[in-house]
Amino acid sequence: MNQFLPFPAKVPEIKSTVDQISQQKRQRFETWKGYNPEVMFAKKYKNGPIYKGDDFDDLTMHSLARANHQISEACNKIYGTSELLYTKEENAKFKEFSLKFTGGTVLPTLYYAQITAMISILSCFGIISIREGEKTYNLVRTGDRWQYLLRRTHLEHIAEGCPAGWHQQILYMYEKLQENGVELPKIDLQKTKELQALRNNYHYDILTQTAMQYDATEKYFEYLPTVMNTTQIAITTINKIWKITNKCDARYQELADKMKGYLVASRIAEQNTSQKEERQPRILYTKEELELIGIDYPDDIYADDD
């Protein structure tokens, strides 16, 4: 077995490890809430691994507290972008702005939600990324120990390479861990890479333009199902291993119910509108509204197309 791969590498086995710890130290999960001990541990064990014991257990439980916070933040990012589009369409205070001006805000933030959900999943599997000064590290649980590794060194050991840039490293690490037998849940990495390119377009390349030419609304709703799906996968992963402790799953469900209604209505509007016509669909149809007018409300709206 590659000594640099996270272990346990399967959700049921991670759950078994967590169950053993929580039976003896149930209070420790809440102890680390709002506190970040990873830097303290990193300094304490900089020259050697953290073997099984109190610190090993604490870091294992902290990784789940961290995963909880990360997925909550992913939900917040989706909420912020969808609420912006909803408010602009339904009850805008600033009439001089139009939806075409939101691309530089909603698409990069949607991408950050996707990356945040991926990081939450990695935390569940025992990979904690930290920065100390100018250097970046991964704390990795590898069976009976946590190892403190330079991120570049870690990636080179598991994948024989390391791309430049934090975001590229996350995508690369997720993909290579799967290839090496770590049973990370399947997400749409291709769509994630496309969304990253859009993020660069709307975050940076837009500054080279001389006019706001593109309405980002359609692109936002094209990639929203991918991000919603990854967010749901992360929530499910945490629940399978431990539990959601911050109620972000309830907040997510409210958001998903509303956005699901919009996505169905948007598809129907797209089918009934020629490509030459400018479309401004109403944002956020509710399930009840769709059923009232006889529109099917499929439960698999977020399912990936095979």
The tens digit of pLDDT for each residue in 210-267 reads: 776 666 788 898 899 899 999 999 999 999 999 999 999 999 999 888 877 666 655 5
Is 56 part of a structural domain of the chain?
Answer: yes
- Which range, of 31-45, 175-189, 206-220, averages the lowest pLDDT? 31-45
Is 1 part of a structural domain of the chain?
Answer: no
Kindly tell me if the per-residue pLDDT of 24 is higher than 50.
Answer: yes
Kindly tell me if the per-residue pLDDT of 296 is higher than 80.
Answer: no
* C-alpha to C-alpha distance for 306 and 294, rounded to whole angstroms: 28
Strand partners, 7: 142
- Which range, of 20-29, 124-133, 199-208, 217-226, averages the lowest pLDDT? 20-29
- Which range, of 48-57, 114-123, 145-154, averages the lowest pLDDT? 48-57
pLDDT of residue 263: 65
Is 302 part of a structural domain of the chain?
Answer: no
* C-alpha to C-alpha distance for 228 and 211, rounded to whole angstroms: 31
Q: Is 143 left (phi over 0), alpha (psi -120 to 50) or beta?
A: left
* C-alpha to C-alpha distance for 134 and 125, rounded to whole angstroms: 25
Average pLDDT over residues 89-113: 84
Domain encompassing residue 87: 11-292
Average pLDDT over residues 83-96: 78
pLDDT of residue 300: 39
Is 3 part of a structural domain of the chain?
Answer: no
Is 2 part of a structural domain of the chain?
Answer: no
* C-alpha to C-alpha distance for 288 and 26, rounded to whole angstroms: 42
pLDDT of residue 213: 65
Kindly tell me if the per-residue pLDDT of 290 is higher than 50.
Answer: no
Tell me the backbone φ, ψ of residue 234, rounded to 5 degrees: -65, -45
Is 120 part of a structural domain of the chain?
Answer: yes
Dihedral angle of Cα 150, 155, 158, 160, to the nearest 10 degrees: -120
Q: What is the mean pLDDT of the chain?
A: 81
pLDDT of residue 175: 96
Q: Count the alpha carbons within 13 Å of 68 in the hemisphere toward its beta carbon.
A: 22
Structural domain total, the chain: 1
Long-range CB contacts (within 8 A, 24+) of 172-178: 173/122, 173/127, 174/118, 174/121, 174/122, 177/5, 177/6, 177/125
- Burial class of residue 1 (count of CB atoms within 10 Å of its CB; 0-12, 13-18, 19+): exposed
Tell me the one-letter amino acid at 207: L
pLDDT of residue 72: 98
Is 6 part of a structural domain of the chain?
Answer: no
DSSP code of 305? P
DSSP code of 99? G
Residue with tokens 């939450």: 120
Q: How many CB atoms are located within 10 Å of the residue 24 CB?
A: 8
Is 306 part of a structural domain of the chain?
Answer: no
For 140-169, letters b (16+ CB in 10 Å) and e give: bbbbebbbbbebbebbeebbeebeeeebeb
Q: Is 291 left (phi over 0), alpha (psi -120 to 50) or beta?
A: alpha
